[in-house]
Amino acid sequence: MDKNKCVGCKGSLSKSQFMTCRDCKQKYDLQCANMTPKSFLKFDEDKKRKWKCPECLSKRPKQDNTNTPIRSESQALDAASYVETEELSSPGVSSASQSIDVELNSVLEDPSPGVSNVTLRQKSQPVTTIAADDVATNYITEEKFRYIWRNEMRQEFKSLIDASSKGLSDQFKTINQQCIGFQESVTFMSKQYDGLQKELKDLKKLFSNTTAELKSLRDENKVLREGLATCASRVKYLEEENSKQQQWVRLQNLEITGIPEHKDENAEDIVLNVSQHIGVNIQSTDIEFAHRIQPRRATSASRARPIIVRLKQRTVKDKIMAAARKHRNISARDIGLGVESQKIYINEHLTKDNKMLLTSCKQKAKELNYKYIWTKNCRVFVRKNETSPPVPINSSADIVKII
């Protein structure tokens, strides 16, 4: 016999819920042992050790052996009918009646798998609730059997419903707790959403204010740019006018470079000597002032400072400039102002900007092989050769004319 199968129904046994007979040591599942799971849980270890199977109970003295789990329903009913027949046909009626009573009490008190493995167990409702005429017969009728089966099924369903109700109640409690947690989460998210909405509203307001302020700054910047452009144009115009005025003031001035300095020299006498040497006779009354200028850089202090002379009449200045162009190779030694052979240059007294313009024109003219470049009335002119027309250069923008 397989130890893991029920002796009554030949089915597989549960790992923990089964009963072992005290006498025969055979194993029965709860259904064949006429026991509910709830009753099984109430059994302690002592009761489980003292439990007897229905087959061993049916072998007790003075009891019928018809209520075994092996016998079928038809055999049990035939046995009951046989006992009833013997009761009616034999003088030992009282003895048979007692035997039936013992068997009925055995069925009600110690239920077994019985007929067709139907579970029969004693309940709280006594057998006396059965109709009196059924009890008087002293055997199990079909109605008694149905009544017992109905009560057993009612108890089984009630146990199942109670267990299901308890499980559903626990599940509902869990679901309720989850719903409460979900509701709290939704409330928290709602508060967070309200906070975000408020922050978004504040950000929109701040963005609107920033946009308006940015637009105002753009308009102001535009006005400032326009004003700056106007100011720049005005400054440029004023610089040009100032340069023209400064150059106009120097229109009657000459700049003489290359004359060595002496401690007790007289600038006017030097100018008269140079003018006489190049063939222009002037008097001291023609000179308004004559002096050397301070060098702007310390590196040029070792060189002789230029002499600036202002003539009272422009015609005298033009005569000296015309004679100086004819005598380009005179030196200080030639006019008795020293032993040095350094050349003496006589030019118009230009402003700083015009000097830079003249230098740029000389560089560009040299690159493009221009032959002539000069100044007249403090204006710069260039000419490529003897046959080409002179080109006036009034500003740095006019250098592009040198092509």
Strand, helix or coil for residue 381: strand
User: d(Cα 377, Cα 371) in Å, to the nearest integer?
Assistant: 20
pLDDT exceeds cutoff 80 at 59: no
pLDDT at 303: 78
pLDDT exceeds cutoff 70 at 78: no
pLDDT exceeds cutoff 90 at 288: yes
pLDDT exceeds cutoff 70 at 73: no
pLDDT exceeds cutoff 50 at 77: no
pLDDT exceeds cutoff 80 at 304: yes
C-alpha of 179 from chain center: 32
Using alpha carbons only, how large is the chain's radius of gyration in Å? Answer: 70
Q: Tens digits of per-residue pLDDT, 191-213?
A: 999 999 999 999 999 999 999 99
pTM value?
A: 0.45
**Pairing state between β 307-311 and 27-29:** unpaired
Q: Tens digits of per-residue pLDDT, 334-358?
A: 887 776 678 889 999 999 889 999 9
Q: With beta carbons less than 8 A apart as the criterion, state whether 307 and 271 touch.
A: yes
- 94 pLDDT tier (thresholds 50, 70, 90): very low
pLDDT at 310: 94
pLDDT at 118: 44
- 52 pLDDT tier (thresholds 50, 70, 90): confident
Structure token digits, residue 384: 């490529």
The residue to which tokens 């920033």 are assigned:
210
pLDDT at 301: 53
- 1 pLDDT tier (thresholds 50, 70, 90): low
Q: With beta carbons less than 8 A apart as the criterion, state whether 305 and 261 touch.
A: yes
pLDDT at 230: 93
Residue 48 host element (H or E): helix 45-50
Q: Which of 131-140, 331-340, 357-366 has the lowest mean pLDDT?
A: 131-140
pLDDT exceeds cutoff 70 at 375: yes
Q: Tens digits of per-residue pLDDT, 139-188?
A: 678 888 888 888 889 888 888 888 888 888 888 888 888 899 899 989 99
User: d(Cα 72, Cα 101) in Å, to the nearest integer?
Assistant: 21
pLDDT at 340: 67
pLDDT at 62: 52
Mean pLDDT of 88-115: 40
Q: Tens digits of per-residue pLDDT, 12-40?
A: 887 778 888 988 888 888 888 888 888 88
CB-side exposure of 375: number of CA atoms within 13 Å? 24
pLDDT-above-70 percentage for the chain: 77
pLDDT exceeds cutoff 90 at 224: yes
Long-range Cβ contact pairs of 199-204 (< 8 A, separation 24 or more): none
pLDDT at 255: 94
